[in-house]
Structure 1
């Protein structure tokens, strides 16, 4: 069996490596959520519509997800350290340029460039851990990685909230620059190079098909409120994206050196782990996108206060991720994964009861099971994915884990965001007002709230209706996934990252 090659003769400091990869991971994960806090300010400054706001957030997630498999293969072939450093450089430089953007279109483009950098960074962090840590420390290290991956999104919200108390929304990109620069310098000095000297050639055909399929699918979902969910454009677009992804699977099955061999999904643990991660982040990032607009625009909270209100989720998520391996050892992977997903679904269902004047205690009652559920289910799901492939393919295994995470997040923002927008527009009633005023209010919820008076009051009520519909849909989707994961995982099996 081919093994990962480490290009160093120096002793490996696993603690230092862990710190570096966690900083790099925190930078790209925080960037997925941190801009959500600034959306009201961005909407006012750039006059972005609701659909453009969704694109500003999801352009990052979409490009991130689309290039992950290719990025993992690049790391395996040419070196994970090189890939990590290149990704951090693209991410940092793109963030510097984004600080000068003046329009929604510029922000969408630059967020896509940041997503490309992030795609190079994220699989390199996990494959560096699985490629350099000894087998007896690997499971614990993956647990730390999973906790950072989950908690960094909330910490990114808090950091951005603090910055927005004193600076403009541009400062959020400054946070990206600081984290990327720190991680890049540390990676250059500390992280050893690792690669597979016998890695196959890059699967460019598979990469093009996977990117095209995801872009068409997510584009069609995000644009659905504009064109109509039942319109020919939306239905053809969604069907076209699924057809392209089906062609990708067929192409990979026939390829001699596939970027992602679909046959690996015959491993039930990998399939269950991928589905679990997908649905956790579908719920998580979709929820973050819709609820932060609710906290700031409906409830009138500041960016910092809105971020602080999300902290209980992180406070229970990270300890739950650390405790999860112990729970798996005691109760088995199946019970832990299914219980975690059920808790996520329950949290979303509680949060779907939010209204214009809801007490924060109701939100807390939803945030706690949501955070515990994600933290509990995340580590065994990640270990199932990385443990399914040998050491020489850890870049692709890591990318598979990250792909599930980022595609889930991108679709969560797209689907829940689109349901929110559709529900808002369907329930917005402004009788007696000029058509031009009604049109502007329907186009942008931020603009409607800024108008004040009866327009803002009606807009708040309509927004909450859309929020409730989106969160109920998310809860049902996660519950269905919990049933599927329970059927896929054998009873009593305990999955760990083994030395393969």
Structure 2
């Protein structure tokens, strides 16, 4: 809806400030290398901790709820602050916000590596999440500023998105290898040399830019956005543990439902809004945010389930699990840049729909997996997962950046980051909750063929890893029988969990075909005459 004082939507491409094409091409690609490697490290830290969670139980005495917050404090801080940080990048300078985020991320990683308590580790992970919130939108805005609109920028965003996705997928691989050779803190300490090198390279190679004519900061808008997004994320994270209908979760959802409209009203009235409502008139941005959220739902939710399946059902160690997720990283490394080539030719609609279809197929393969199936079936799923993620992330990110004027690159890119965080948190919460419910019902009294003490059975319902550890203490063949029953219950739980992922991404295919701009459409969704090839 057009607000008072807003100009009418343009029927041509939005006007942007010229990119820094005066820089030599080689320097532009070096800039891309700096921001892409930084995003690879950030993506890696999204999942690297997963394989270390069992170790933290023994080393720090972490409970199940504490393990959850070691993981989720990162997502909560990153997701709730990213819009504000994107607006800071536009106003204060993208290079300096990027470097500030990288410095904070690196320092917090060192603190996490040497944390002596769960509380310290949770706080350090939260600080790392703030660092990511500063880094991610600034990197995409830098690419939008440095590379001219067209095939070169699309290729650059394909490489950037491949770095994000590959980092996410290889996290368990790197974590597993480090745990096989060093202590648990090494999964964080690896960020130190990379962070320091990145800061030096950024100081030398990344140009600074800010939004032309950027206004004052919007502290009220920032506070409302943090409270609104934070409330929803907290409810999504806590829902599986506390119960979706618990008073605390319902209150948090209600708070988000009230604060979000308040934020929108304030942004429409503010003279210098943090998130200008006009950017959502760009059809590519609005559709891209929705589609990348659905893609993140499937990618991170599937990885959450697959890592446990590899370790506890197929019996691989942490290091072996990481290696067997390698094909997903390779597929993503190919699909990301390939999407950068295909998107200008086929359009966002076709490429994003194809990516979501591959993600849906990956989830469907895992949803129909049996307890007796080996790695071959899982390999097919991981290849489909990596290829689908590469296509979706690249196509949507390129569409979002390509639709925005230079004045809104930072905060517009932040909407992409916020959508990814919300999708990832929701994917883990929903798919994890469905998995847990079916797993617990599979272990209820009478469903296990071996006699198991009631107290032990209740503990085993916490997770498959706990069940397998407890099975080792049962006498005779009872332990083997119970372990096999627990594995079957877990695989049964994968059915509804992965069916949810398949259903969400299948709906995403339909939404992509209905909402995303087609080839020959401009970034606001209106068509224009294509140049002949």
Compared CA separation, residues 55 and 9, structure 1 to 2 (3 A): same
Q: Give deviations 1:126-161, integer Å, cap 9, x for gaps.
A: 111111223353222112111111112123332222
Gaps of 5+ in 2: 1-14, 472-478, 525-533
For 2:365, the equivalent position in structure 1 comes to 350
SS at match of 1:135: coil
Is the contact between residue 73 and residue 129 of structure 2 (CA under 8 Å) also seen in structure 1?
yes
1:299 to partner: Cα distance:
2.5
Counterparts of 1:414 and 1:182 in 2: how far apart (Å)? 35
SS at match of 1:463: helix
SS at match of 2:408: helix
Matched, 1:216 2:235: no
Identify the match of residue 111 of structure 1 among 109, 125, 139: 125
Q: Give deviations 1:266-290, integer Å, cap 9, x for gaps.
A: 3222111111111111111111122
Matched, 1:19 2:38: no
For 1:373, the equivalent position in structure 2 comes to 388
Q: Give deviations 1:388-446, integer Å, cap 9, x for gaps.
A: 21112211122122222222222222322233333333332256644433333233543
Matched, 1:479 2:506: yes
1:341 to partner: Cα distance:
0.9
Compared CA separation, residues 379 and 393, structure 1 to 2 (3 A): same
Q: Give deviations 1:160-196, integer Å, cap 9, x for gaps.
A: 2221111122110011222212211211222222223
Matched, 1:183 2:198: yes
Matched, 1:225 2:240: yes
- Please list, as runs of the form range in 1=range in 2, the aligned pairs for 1:373-392 lying within 5 A after superposition: 373-392=388-407
1:5 to partner: Cα distance:
9.5
Q: TM-score normalised to the size of structure 1?
A: 0.91
1:226 to partner: Cα distance:
3.2
Compared CA separation, residues 159 and 433, structure 1 to 2 (3 A): closer
Counterparts of 2:248 and 2:25 in 1: how far apart (Å)? 58
Counterparts of 1:220 and 1:421 in 2: how far apart (Å)? 18
Counterparts of 1:107 and 1:382 in 2: how far apart (Å)? 32
Identify the match of residue 43 of structure 1 among 57, 61, 64: 57
Compared CA separation, residues 329 and 184, structure 1 to 2 (3 A): closer
Counterparts of 1:331 and 1:138 in 2: how far apart (Å)? 16
Matched, 1:423 2:445: no
Matched, 1:443 2:462: yes
Compared CA separation, residues 326 and 494, structure 1 to 2 (3 A): farther
Compared CA separation, residues 460 and 337, structure 1 to 2 (3 A): same
CA RMSD in angstroms comes to 2.6
Gaps of 5+ in 1: none
Bigger radius of gyration: 2
Counterparts of 2:497 and 2:106 in 1: how far apart (Å)? 33
Compared CA separation, residues 325 and 222, structure 1 to 2 (3 A): closer
- Please list, as runs of the form range in 1=range in 2, the aligned pairs for 1:93-104 lying within 5 A after superposition: 93-104=107-118
SS at match of 2:245: coil
Compared CA separation, residues 76 and 12, structure 1 to 2 (3 A): farther
Identify the match of residue 285 of structure 1 among 290, 300, 324: 300
Is the contact between residue 275 and residue 485 of structure 1 (CA under 8 Å) also seen in structure 2?
no
Counterparts of 2:425 and 2:193 in 1: how far apart (Å)? 25
Structure having the higher helix fraction is 1
Matched, 1:70 2:89: no
Q: Give deviations 1:466-491, integer Å, cap 9, x for gaps.
A: 33222111111111122122111244
Identify the match of residue 296 of structure 1 among 295, 308, 311: 311
Q: Give deviations 1:437-456, integer Å, cap 9, x for gaps.
A: 33332335433221122554
Q: TM-score normalised to the size of structure 2?
A: 0.86
1:298 to partner: Cα distance:
2.8
Of stretches 465-474 and 39-48 in structure 1, the one that deviates more from structure 2 is: 39-48
Matched, 1:307 2:322: yes
Q: Give deviations 1:176-230, integer Å, cap 9, x for gaps.
A: 2222122112112222222235212222222222222222222223323333233
For 1:463, the equivalent position in structure 2 comes to 490
Is the contact between residue 50 and residue 421 of structure 1 (CA under 8 Å) also seen in structure 2?
no
Counterparts of 1:111 and 1:88 in 2: how far apart (Å)? 14
Is the contact between residue 4 and residue 195 of structure 1 (CA under 8 Å) also seen in structure 2?
no
Counterparts of 1:33 and 1:201 in 2: how far apart (Å)? 36
What is the count of residue pairs matched by the alignment? 496
| 4+ runs deviating over 6 angstroms | 8-12
For 1:150, the equivalent position in structure 2 comes to 165
Identify the match of residue 320 of structure 1 among 320, 335, 350: 335
Identify the match of residue 87 of structure 1 among 92, 96, 101: 101
Of stretches 23-32 and 103-112 in structure 1, the one that deviates more from structure 2 is: 103-112
For 2:44, the equivalent position in structure 1 comes to 30
Is the contact between residue 101 and residue 134 of structure 2 (CA under 8 Å) also seen in structure 1?
yes
Is the contact between residue 240 and residue 430 of structure 2 (CA under 8 Å) also seen in structure 1?
no
SS at match of 2:216: coil
Counterparts of 2:252 and 2:96 in 1: how far apart (Å)? 37
Identify the match of residue 364 of structure 1 among 367, 379, 388: 379
Counterparts of 1:327 and 1:277 in 2: how far apart (Å)? 17
